[in-house]
Amino acid sequence: MPPDPRPYIEGVRSGDRRMLAKTITLIESRLLSHQDLTQSVIDGLLPFTGHAIRLGITGVPGVGKSTFIESLGLHLVEQGRRVAVLAVDPSSARSGGSIMGDKTRMEKLAVHEHAFIRPSPAGRTLGGVSRKTRESMLVCEAGGFDVIIVETVGVGQSEYAVASMVDFFLVLMLAGAGDELQGIKRGLLEMADAVAINKADGDNIDAAERAKKAYENAMHLMTPVHPCWTPPILTCSALAHKGIDDVWQMILRHREMLTSRGELNLKRQEQAISWMHQLLEEGLKKWFYEKAEVRERLKDVSRHIETGKTHPTAAVRQILDLLPQSDPKSNPKSLQPK
Ligand SMILES: Nc1nc2c(ncn2[C@@H]2O[C@H](COP(=O)(O)OP(=O)(O)OP(=O)(O)O)[C@@H](O)[C@H]2O)c(=O)[nH]1
Ligand SMILES: [Mg+2]
């Protein structure tokens, strides 16, 4: 008898937090034996997903992401919303500390009955972490949370993964001393739907205003992600709860703009399709490289390349010749690099 997905599905749907946590733990499990059950649970929950505002937040370590999420989260639960926070942290080295840190930084939100905070454990691959976060997001939506916030630290690739699973991607920045745009990843700004310069408080207010102007100028030089939306630059103080509602109102404006043009669904469809391609690629790679004959031949041709007996193009042909040919008309040569 395969394990029964219904207790999970019904538990999540009824708002049982213990079952919500248990379902996410199931999703995070690496055990092969859990995969079918996980799939059935997600299939069962899928009809109840899609209604939430999906918000991604990134920024360098220490910019104030957790403090900002605590402040925004409390603001939202006070308005009667239900807020789930998921953290993506692909680097095992800092995860332990950051999870502990988040518990203390979001301590008011963490105990609120309408909030749910779930730090992801470090994963082995970014793909793995990102699959778990996507699926956990769906579980939270099915559990009735209407704002899902995904936090990730902006130092690697994880911010690209998060940007591709949310409706709105917010980049937190700090007013730096001197040249504002030095050392900022241009790619990160290009993904942003808005930039909020945090810690605009105390002695830092003027610097934050200067940074805002610098970012505004920089943004005007970039091709916007959306023709109708130039990413706004705001200032805020997560610690002093200043400017938090402005950020939220802007997120709602962006949403209105997308929905009125029918683009929110389109954006999500495109995200789903590109996610499918990513999974397919991962699956194909895994399947291919695990084949004994592929490993064998890879070893051989690598040696031949080292000794100058063959060159990479010919080597690839020899390896791809190992692909099974279910369709006699298909020609594996068409897969080969031109
Ligand atoms: N002055 C001031 N300090 C802030 C503000 N927001 C956060 N901080 C402080 O900055 C430090 C880092 O804040 P966090 O919220 O932990 O930053 P984070 O981006 O989540 O950090 P990581 O999780 O390590 O990447 C803490 O000491 C906060 O109290 C703010 O708006 N103003
Ligand atoms: Mg944090």
Q: Is residue 284 part of a domain?
A: no
| Pair (29, 160) in one structural domain | no
Give the list of residues 6+ apart from residue 159 with CB closer than 8 angstroms, or none: 56, 58, 152, 153, 188, 191
Q: Which atom of ligand 1 lies nearest, measured to the CA of 59?
A: 19
Q: Is residue 316 part of a domain?
A: yes
CA dihedral sign, ordered 13, 14, 15, 21: negative
CA 92 / ligand 2 centre spacing (Å):
15
| Pair (148, 200) in one structural domain | yes
> How many structural domains does the chain have?
3
What is the rounded distance in angstroms from the CA atom of residue 237 to the CA atom of residue 250?
Answer: 16
| Pair (328, 186) in one structural domain | no
**Interior angle at CA 183, CA 98 and CA 243, nearest 5:** 60
Cβ(222)–Cβ(190) below 8 Å: yes
| Pair (320, 215) in one structural domain | no
CA 61 / ligand 2 centre spacing (Å):
7
Q: Is residue 196 part of a domain?
A: yes
| Pair (34, 108) in one structural domain | no
Q: Which residues surround ligand 2, an ion (CB under 5 A)?
A: 65-66
Residue-wise DSSP of 80-142: T--EEEEEE---HHHHHHHHHHHHHHTHHHHT-TTEEEEEPPP-SSHHHHHHHHHHHHHHHHH
Q: What is the pTM of this model?
A: 0.87
Ligand 1 atom 7 nearest Cα: 64
CA 90 / ligand 1 centre spacing (Å):
20
Q: Which atom of ligand 1 lies nearest, measured to the CA of 242?
A: 31
For residue 171, the ligand closest to its alpha carbon is 1
Q: Is residue 271 part of a domain?
A: no
Provide the CATH number for the domain around residue 128: 3.40.50.300
CA 301 / ligand 1 centre spacing (Å):
52
What is the rounded distance in angstroms from the CA atom of residue 283 to the CA atom of residue 287?
Answer: 6
Q: What is the pLDDT of residue 185?
A: 64
Q: What is the pLDDT of residue 102?
A: 54
Q: Is residue 277 part of a domain?
A: no
Q: Which atom of ligand 1 lies nearest, measured to the CA of 153?
A: 25
CA 221 / ligand 2 centre spacing (Å):
30
| Pair (61, 209) in one structural domain | yes
CA 94 / ligand 2 centre spacing (Å):
11
CA 62 / ligand 1 centre spacing (Å):
5
Ligand 1 binding pocket mutation candidate from 75, 88, 149, 239 (most atoms within 8 A of CB): 239
| Pair (238, 196) in one structural domain | yes
Cβ(263)–Cβ(271) below 8 Å: no
| Pair (43, 60) in one structural domain | no
Q: Is residue 275 part of a domain?
A: no
| Pair (220, 126) in one structural domain | yes
Q: What is the pLDDT of residue 1?
A: 72
Q: Is residue 44 part of a domain?
A: yes
| Pair (203, 328) in one structural domain | no
Ligand 1 binding pocket mutation candidate from 60, 63, 67, 94 (most atoms within 8 A of CB): 67
Ligand 1 binding pocket mutation candidate from 58, 66, 201 (most atoms within 8 A of CB): 66
- pLDDT 10s digit of each residue in the chain, 338 long? 778 999 999 999 999 999 999 999 999 887 888 889 999 999 999 999 999 999 999 988 889 999 999 999 999 999 999 999 998 876 544 444 455 455 567 889 999 999 999 987 666 666 667 888 999 999 999 999 999 999 988 777 788 889 999 999 999 999 974 445 555 667 778 889 999 999 999 999 999 999 999 889 888 888 777 888 989 999 999 999 999 999 999 999 999 999 999 999 999 999 999 889 988 998 899 899 999 999 999 999 999 999 999 999 999 999 998 887 765 565 555 555 55
Ligand 1 atom 9 nearest Cα: 64
Q: What is the pLDDT of residue 217?
A: 87
Provide the CATH number for the domain around residue 34: 1.20.5.170
| Pair (230, 173) in one structural domain | yes
Q: Is residue 174 part of a domain?
A: yes
Ligand 1 atom 28 nearest Cα: 64
Tokens 């709105």 sit on residue:
168
| Pair (182, 326) in one structural domain | no
Which protein residues touch ligand 1 with a CB less than 6 Å away?
59, 61-67, 98, 101, 105, 153, 198-199, 201, 237-239
CA 300 / ligand 2 centre spacing (Å):
47
Domain that holds residue 118: 52-261
